[in-house]
A and B are shown apart, each in its own frame.
Chain A
C-alpha cells in the first residue's frame, strides 16, 4: 500500500515536469467530455426525455458514468495502455520487482489529466441533482458510492480484457476498445431503453445494469427491477466479481503465455 501511494506520487511528480503540456491536455479532456455533455443536453432539450426518463434523470446517469469512467482512466491507465508495457520491455522490468503485477501496473501510470473529465462528470451530476431536487438519505449516498465503486471495478475489468489481448496481438486492441468505449457510450443511458439482447448483455456479461443502473434508478425513485432493497445494495458486487475473473484470466492466460513465449 505504501508502495502504491509512493508510486502514484512519483507519477504526479513526473507529470509536473511538463506543466504546460499537462495543463493543455487537462483542458483537452474537459473539452472532450464537455462535448459529450453538450450532445446529451441538446438531445434532451429537443426530446424532453427518453422513455419514461426525464432529461434531468438522463443527465444524472450520464454524470455517474462520466465521473466513474474518468476515475478509471486516471487510475487504470496502466491497465488500459498495457500494450505499451509489452512493446517497451517495461513488463520485463515489472517482473523483476517484488510487488504484485497488478499493483505495479496501476502504480506505474497515473493519469491526472483525467481530472478534466471528472470535473465535467461531477458538474453534470450536480446539475442533475439540483434540478431534480432529489431527496437524499444516507442510504442513497451509500448506494451512489457503491454504484460508482462497482462500475469502477467493472470498467477496470474491461481494461483487463484489453490487457490480456495485448499479450497476443498488439494490433487487435482497437477491436477491444469497442468493449470499453462502446460500453461507456451505451451505458451512460439506462439499460431499459435498449432491446432485449443488449439488456441481457449489459446485465449478465458486462453487468453495467447491476452495478450502475439499478442502484441509480433506486436513487431516482424509479426502480428498474422489482427486487428487494438488499439486492440493490448487493448488485454492484457484480463489478468486483467481473474484475476478479478478468484479473485471473489476465494472469493465467496472458502472463503465462508471455512467460512461455517471450516477446
Chain B
C-alpha cells in the first residue's frame, strides 16, 4: 500500500469548510488553525478521516485564560493538539470562547481519548464541553466552587481589602458554578 500525498491542513480545511477558519498562524514550527467554535467537531472529524491528513491521535487538550485584558476574540482559548502518525506531524486547532459563555462541543465522539482531557479543562478552567458523556469534576472534589486554573482565582492568599479596592476584589471572587 502506498501512502497518499500529504495535504496542507489549512488549505484542505479551507476548501472543505470555507467559513470555518478565522486565522492560520505559524510560530516556531507549530501550525495553528483558529476555528469558529461551531465548526470544531466537523473539522476534527474531517481532519481525522481525510486521506492525506489522518490526524488519528489527540495528544492534548489545553485551555488558556487570557484574563484580565485580553486582546483576543474571547477570554478563553482551547487548544487541541493533534498528531498524525502516518505523516509524522502535529497540528493545533484553537477556538476562542467568550467570557460569559465558555461553551464548545465535545470531540469525544471523534477521539474517545478526549474524555478525561476535556474533563480536566472543564474542572480546572471552567470550559463547558457540550455533549460530554461524563462531565463530573475530575481533580477537585465534587462540591468545589470555582475553577482553580483561571487567572482570577486566588493563589492561596487574598489581597487585603480596603475601601478603595473592595469593589475590585469582590468582582473577582470565585463564584459558585451552579
Genuine A/B complex: no
